[in-house]
Structure 1
Amino acid sequence: MRERKSAKLNIQQQQQQHQNGHLSPFKLAKLLDPDASWDKDQLGDVLHWIRQGLALLCGLLWGAIPLVGGVWFLLFLVLSSGIIYAYYALVLKVDEEEFGGHWALLQEGVFASISLFLLAWILVYSLAHF
Structure 2
Amino acid sequence: MKEGKSVKLIPQPQQHQNGHLSPFKFAKLLDPEASWDKDQLGDVLHWIRQAMGLACGLLWGSFPLVGGIWFILFLVISSGIIYGYYSVILKIDEEEFGGHGALLQEGLFASTTLFLLSWILVFSLAHF
TM-score (norm 2): 0.85
1:124 maps to 122
Is 1:68 the equivalent of 2:66?
A: yes
Bigger Cα displacement from structure 2, 77-86 vs 19-28: 19-28
Is 1:113 the equivalent of 2:108?
A: no
Percent of paired sites with the same residue: 80
Runs of 5+ consecutive residues of structure 2 not aligned to the other structure: 1-11
| Aligned partner (choices 81, 84, 101) of residue 83 of structure 1 | 81
2:32 maps to 34
Residue type at the aligned position of 2:37 = D
- Pair 1:71–1:94, CA change in 2 (3 A): same
- Pair 1:29–1:126, CA change in 2 (3 A): same
1:97 maps to 95
Cα deviation digits, residues 33-73 of structure 1 (max 9, x gap): 00000000000000000000000000000000110000000
Aligned residues: 117
Q: Distance in 2 between matches of 1:117 and 1:26?
A: 27
- Pair 1:22–1:77, CA change in 2 (3 A): same
Q: Distance in 1 between matches of 2:81 and 2:43?
A: 15
- Pair 1:64–1:19, CA change in 2 (3 A): closer
| Aligned partner (choices 54, 58, 71) of residue 52 of structure 2 | 54
Shift of 1:25: 6.5
Runs of 5+ consecutive residues of structure 1 not aligned to the other structure: 1-12
Q: Distance in 2 between matches of 1:19 and 1:103?
A: 34
Q: List 4+ stretches of structure 1 deviating above 2 A.
A: 17-26
- Pair 1:90–1:68, CA change in 2 (3 A): same
TM-score (norm 1): 0.83
Please tell me whether the aligned partners of residues 58 and 119 of structure 2 are also in contact (alpha carbons under 8 angstroms).
Answer: yes
Please tell me whether the aligned partners of residues 46 and 106 of structure 2 are also in contact (alpha carbons under 8 angstroms).
Answer: yes
1:9 maps to none
- Pair 1:19–1:44, CA change in 2 (3 A): closer
Please tell me whether the aligned partners of residues 16 and 22 of structure 2 are also in contact (alpha carbons under 8 angstroms).
Answer: no
Shift of 1:26: 2.6
Please tell me whether the aligned partners of residues 42 and 106 of structure 2 are also in contact (alpha carbons under 8 angstroms).
Answer: yes
